[in-house]
Amino acid sequence: MDRVYRVNYQGVGQHVIERGGALYQITGDIFGAYALGAVIPGGLSAAGLRTLAPVTPSKIVCVGLNYKDHAAETGRALPAEPLLFLKPSSAVIGPGEPIRLPPGVGRVDHEAELALVIGRRAHRVPRARAWEYVLGLTCLNDVTARDLQNRESQFTRCKGFDTFAPIGPCVATGLDGEPRAVEGWVNNQRRQASNTRHLLFPIDYLVEFVTFVMTLEPGDVISTGTPEGIGPLVSGDTVTVKVEGIGDLTNPVMSE
């Protein structure tokens, strides 16, 4: 398994690959052909090396109510098919960047999720071939203005604020659909804990379902839903999404 990061290295945002404990520059395109280049001394801790969001998606497709326990805590019926909504690319931030709470919107919640990154253009992909189109897996925090969501029938506004889509810290490649623990932590206290074995609609099914509707481009993201335990964030909090085998995505929270 490789971990693909996007970092600010020597003043330029670029992808690098962690393999066997070493961090490598790459030549080429992670969505096409590439080769390992020089080792970056000091790895991710190297001076001046800042981790960015691993991809810059044209769109983020999210799946609502994809865990039975989360549907139960919201008082909503289980969907008969995936419930889709979009987050704009302008909502994306990387590890360590602040989630900014907009003024006057009321309660804002964390939602820890496993997400997948598309590796090549995907249009009406059959489920049996879904993993051929997945570059890898990452963490995503589907930050949500809950009071707005509760009084509107559409999710665009409550999910679409700037900074409401932290992604990272990397894209873990070479993985499959085996069950993975998903956790959400706030101020070092665990609030969410589940496993992707409890997804109503698994990753391969979601790839087929979403790409029947819309073409996904390299770098686009499908986020698979959050388990129970969603809760409010306040200025001064630190929130972390942990996904087994991928890593930790941590962001501070502050008022805008």
CATH of the domain at 130: 3.90.850.10
* Closest to 184 measured CA to CA, from 176, 192, 195: 192
Do residues 254 and 101 lie in contact, with contact meaning Cβ atoms separated by under 8 Å?
Answer: yes
Same domain as 189, residue 169 = yes
CA dihedral of residues 182, 132, 95, 85 (deg, nearest 10): -70
- How many other C-beta atoms are found inside a 10 Å radius of the C-beta of residue 106? 15
Same domain as 123, residue 10 = no
Same domain as 206, residue 80 = yes
Same domain as 90, residue 33 = no
Number of domains in the chain: 2
CA distance 50 to 10: 10
Q: For residue 246, give every residue at least 6 positions away whose Cβ sits within 8 Å of its Cβ, in sequence order, or none.
A: 3, 114, 137, 138, 139, 170, 172, 180
Same domain as 115, residue 194 = yes
Same domain as 135, residue 39 = no
Same domain as 71, residue 46 = no
Do residues 231 and 76 lie in contact, with contact meaning Cβ atoms separated by under 8 Å?
Answer: no
Containing structural domain, residue 32? 3-52
List per-residue pLDDT tens for the chain, 256 residues long. 999 999 997 788 899 999 998 999 999 999 999 999 999 998 888 877 899 999 999 999 999 999 987 777 777 778 899 999 999 999 999 999 999 999 999 999 999 999 999 999 999 999 999 999 999 999 999 999 999 999 998 999 999 999 999 999 999 999 999 999 999 999 999 999 999 999 999 999 999 999 999 999 999 999 999 999 999 999 999 999 999 999 999 999 999 9
CA distance 114 to 140: 6
